[in-house]
């Protein structure tokens, strides 16, 4: 007894086989048509070459006057096609190669695989930010990789170009690397970060933010710059906590009273209010400076003694009568004597 399930399975299998046979037939016809098209194109090209040769021989008067057969023309066309294919293949292989497989005469820290990659003459390295061994090495590696990723993603070229971004002590370290010690850029950047690990900036913690205080004569603008940079460097610091610590940072004054009355909701609002207060603070300082300069100028004028016109100084000592024969009645005894 044949069940319905078996019947459905047989019918589905027959449909699949029919579709497969149909697809094979269509593929065979397609290949046959493509082969016929190639043969027709080869015949047309051969005839064109033969006609061109006949025309050239007729114009120059050289060569045989007998026409070339289509078979010979087809052979010539195939030889020329093969020659062109080989030339294109050689050009393609030349374009794919990036670096000349030549080893330098001096020792280099790269392995043979890195040196076998050939740099094209059209490759222009980007402008790097130079590193002298005194700043953050991780920041320099990030800057270098961003610049190189814009030009190429070849790891070997990254290794070869890294020394172009070094100077001073960092370049001396690179030149002292053992021969064949660099296999890839990951290993090179790891050695670089380990060598200059002491130059990495110190991690800022919440304690550093708590100890941040405004100096006695420190302007508000300078304090807010330090506070903003410290907040950005503290990892995992929430906005609410950062705004709470600004109160302990400020010294007593109008701005601290304003923040205490109305606490800012965002760092941007705090920065804007601090900028406005710093502008008022600078205006007051300029006014006090002008008043002090005017006061000093007035005091300097008072200290200068007035002089008679023409620069003639007064005579010292007691004044005597202009005419000796004249003696006033109430003149002192010293005058009469």
Q: Which residues lie across from 99 on neighbouring strands?
A: 118
In the chain, pLDDT over 70 holds for what percent of residues? 72
- Residue 314, classified by CB atoms within 10 Å of its CB into exposed (0-12), middle (13-18) or buried (19+), is exposed
* Contact between residue 53 and residue 66 where contact means Cβ atoms under 8 Å apart: no
pLDDT tens digits, residue range 115-174?
989 888 888 889 999 999 999 999 999 999 999 999 899 999 999 999 999 999 999 999
Measured in degrees and rounded to the nearest 5, phi and psi for residue 99 equal: -135, 140
Tell me the average pLDDT across 286-293. Answer: 85
Cα 25 from Cα 69, distance rounded (Å)? 36
* Contact between residue 255 and residue 220 where contact means Cβ atoms under 8 Å apart: yes
* Contact between residue 47 and residue 70 where contact means Cβ atoms under 8 Å apart: yes
Write down the pTM of the prediction. Answer: 0.44
pLDDT tens digits, residue range 35-94?
887 888 778 778 878 887 877 777 766 444 444 455 565 666 666 667 666 666 555 544
The Cα-based distances of 161 to 126, 127, 151 in angstroms read 10, 11, 12
- Residue 96, classified by CB atoms within 10 Å of its CB into exposed (0-12), middle (13-18) or buried (19+), is exposed
Please report the pLDDT score of residue 48 as a whole number: 77
Residue 302 three-state SS: helix
Give domain limits for the chain: 1-59+70-79, 112-199, 206-294
Angle (CA) 268 274 279, round 5°:
130
Cα 242 from Cα 267, distance rounded (Å)? 8
Which position has the token pair 């048509």?
33
Q: Which residue has the higher pLDDT, 326 or 50?
A: 50
* Contact between residue 161 and residue 147 where contact means Cβ atoms under 8 Å apart: no
User: How would residue 324 be classed by pLDDT, with cut points 50, 70 and 90?
Assistant: low
Cα 135 from Cα 144, distance rounded (Å)? 14
Angle (CA) 61 63 67, round 5°:
105
Most confident of 96-105, 213-222, 316-325: 213-222
Lowest mean per-residue pLDDT among 144-153, 214-223, 235-244: 235-244
Q: Which residues lie across from 110 on neighbouring strands?
A: 182
Q: Which residue has the higher pLDDT, 23 or 80?
A: 23
Helical (H) or strand (E) element with 244: helix 239-244
Q: At what angle do helices 70-96 and 4-60 cross, to 10 degrees?
A: 110
Looking at domain 206-294, its CATH class is mainly alpha
Q: Which residue has the higher pLDDT, 289 or 325?
A: 289
pLDDT tens digits, residue range 165-194?
999 999 999 999 999 999 999 999 999 999
Q: Which residues contact 105 (CB under 8 A, 6 or more apart)?
A: none
For residue 277 the two structure tokens come to 């207060």
Number of helices (H), then strands (E), belonging to the chain: the values are: 14, 0
Which position has the token pair 């609410």?
240
pLDDT at 212 over 60: yes
Residue 273 three-state SS: helix
Please report the pLDDT score of residue 95 as a whole number: 47
For residue 231 the two structure tokens come to 């907040």
Q: Which residue has the higher pLDDT, 59 or 306?
A: 59
* Contact between residue 240 and residue 270 where contact means Cβ atoms under 8 Å apart: no
Please report the pLDDT score of residue 325 as a whole number: 57
pLDDT at 23 over 70: yes
């Amino acid at each position: 007894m044949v069940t319905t399930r078996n019947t459905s399975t047989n019918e589905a299998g027959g449909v699949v086989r029919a579709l497969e046979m149909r697809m094979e037939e269509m593929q065979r016809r397609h290949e046959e048509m493509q082969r016929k098209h190639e043969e027709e194109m080869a015949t047309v090209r051969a005839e064109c070459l033969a006609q061109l040769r006949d025309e050239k021989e007729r114009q120059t008067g050289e060569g045989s006057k007998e026409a070339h057969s289509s078979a010979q023309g087809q052979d010539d066309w195939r030889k020329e096609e093969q020659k062109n294919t080989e030339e294109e293949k050689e050009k393609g292989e030349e374009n794919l190669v990036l670096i000349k497989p030549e080893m330098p005469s001096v020792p280099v820290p790269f392995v043979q695989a890195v040196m076998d990659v050939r740099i094209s003459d059209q490759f222009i390295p980007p402008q790097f930010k130079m590193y002298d061994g005194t700043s953050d090495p991780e920041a320099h590696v990030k800057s270098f990789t961003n610049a190189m990723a814009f030009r190429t993603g070849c790891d070997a070229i990254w290794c070869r170009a890294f020394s172009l971004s070094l100077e001073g002590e960092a370049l001396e370290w690179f030149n002292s690397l053992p021969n064949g010690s660099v296999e890839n850029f990951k290993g090179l950047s790891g050695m670089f970060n380990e060598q200059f690990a002491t130059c990495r900036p110190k991690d800022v913690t919440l304690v550093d933010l708590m100890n941040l205080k405004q100096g006695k004569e420190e302007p508000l603008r300078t304090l807010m710059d330090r506070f903003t940079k410290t907040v950005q460097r503290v990892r995992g610091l929430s906005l609410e906590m950062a705004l709470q610590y600004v109160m302990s940072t400020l010294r007593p004054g109008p701005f601290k009273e304003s923040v205490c009355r109305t606490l800012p909701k965002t760092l941007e609002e705090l920065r804007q209010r601090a900028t406005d207060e710093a502008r008022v603070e600078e205006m007051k300082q300029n006014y006090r400076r002008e008043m002090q300069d005017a006061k000093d100028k007035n005091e300097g004028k008072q200290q200068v003694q007035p002089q008679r016109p023409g620069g003639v100084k007064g005579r010292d000592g007691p004044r005597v009568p202009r005419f000796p024969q004249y003696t006033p009645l109430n003149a002192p005894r010293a005058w009469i004597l």
